[in-house]
Amino acid sequence: MRRVLFWATTGLLLAGAAYLLMLTQRAVPPETVQVQRKPIEETLEARGRTSLRQTFVVTAPLSGVFVPEPHREGERVHDGAPLGEIDRLRYELEREVAQAELQRVEAALAETRDTAPEELLVSQAERTVESLDHTVEAAEAQTDSARSRFAYQRDYLQRIQNLFERQAASEDELHRAQVDATDAQVELRQAEVIERALTSLRDAVALLPPTIQRLIDRRLLHLRVLEAERLAARKRLELAELNLRRSKVAAPVSGVLLEFPIKTARTVVAGQVVAVLGRPGDLEARVDVLSSDAVQLTPGTRARLAWRAGMEPFGTAVVDRVEPEAFTKRSALGVEQQRVWVHLRYDAATLEQLTKLPAALPVGYELWVTFILRRHDNSLVVPRTAAYQDVDGRWKVQVVVGGEVRERTIRVGIVTAREVEVLDGLTESDRVVRVPEL
């Protein structure tokens, strides 16, 4: 009895299931869409970041204690704005010492260069020598005259002595001849002494011009030494003034402080970074794409920018340059990829919008970049789900014709994840199955 009841219950359940199945097997018409004429774009999407084409690194030009101005990162500064000073008092003192040394050397030069007194003395000595030459000549003539007179008086005395011995001359005449001879001899000796004295004086005075000239020459030699010292003093002063100017560290351009690491007085060495600046006009977007995608990008390729995928774009940019060398990057799955950096230049409106953000210079912000590889403004378009490829790679759609669904081969152009551009095989009046049954 139990077996009969089991089989009866089972039969009833199967019959009910069959009945329900028959009720649900009603014909459901396929969902169709109208072929549309609209713009279509072929795009390439990638993550990127805001960047700067160039930054301006300010380094300490000198070693010393750097005293910074009260700046902070993100602050706008103008060209020439002071960023700090390095040992300013020390370099002011060095300049003053260099100025004093230059003044000393120039004073010594002025004193050494004035040879007028020595030249006047040389001129006077030469005139004195010339005058003494004439005086010596006169003394020599006087000596010659005294010598002749002495010779005459000596001969005359000899004749008188001979006559006196023969008693032909008186004793008085002899005495007078002796006195005259003695006077002539004294005059000769006096003339010779005067001549020798004048000659010695002339020779001594004649030594003055060459001696003074040698002194002048030595002064001129010292003058050249002083001129070399003046040149060195001027160079020291120039170096001191240069160091004094360089001790004032200033912004090289108008821009925004990206880095300002030294906030309090600190000893720095020459070449140490004290600030990094960027200019808003140098903002750019930088994207790394697969090298296989980079070959599709050329300077001038337009792109839309958004802060993340799916957001409304906030601006546009164009490809400025594609770097020639790729680099290897490991993906999140551990696959090595060859990627290439692509640099984009913002248009004016986008750049202005970026510079008005709370961050005065947004650098390193993540972007979602959509490159527009191709765009056709008036194309026949069907949903991507409506088109499919057969085993031979031909593109097909299912078209509703007279209430029947028929398969039709089409020629496609741009194919995206959502839409397909139809170049041939459909018209605007056609309707296609959105999700065809294959």
Confidence of residue 118 (pLDDT cuts 50, 70, 90): low
The per-residue pLDDT for 197 is 87
Q: What percent of the chain has pLDDT over 70?
A: 92
Q: How many domains does the chain fold into?
A: 1
Least confident interval from 13-27, 278-292, 325-339: 13-27
Domain contains 125: yes
Domain contains 191: yes
Domain contains 221: yes
> Which of the two residues, 245 and 2, has the higher pLDDT score?
245
Distance CA 239, CA 304 (A): 54
Domain contains 198: yes
Distance CA 408, CA 396 (A): 5
β-partners of residue 397 are 408
The per-residue pLDDT for 38 is 93
Question: What is the domain extent for residue 122?
Answer: 111-231
Q: How far is CA 55 from CA 311, 338, 350, in A?
A: 30, 27, 20
Domain contains 171: yes
DSSP alpha helix (H) spans, 207-311: 208-246, 291-294
> What are the tens digits of pLDDT across the range 366-422?
999 999 999 999 999 999 999 999 888 999 999 998 888 999 999 999 998 899 999
Domain contains 216: yes
Residues 6+ apart with CB under 8 A from 278: 52, 55, 56, 255, 256, 258, 361, 363
- The average pLDDT across 76-89 equals 92
Domain contains 362: no
Give the chain's largest Cα–Cα span: 228
Domain contains 39: no
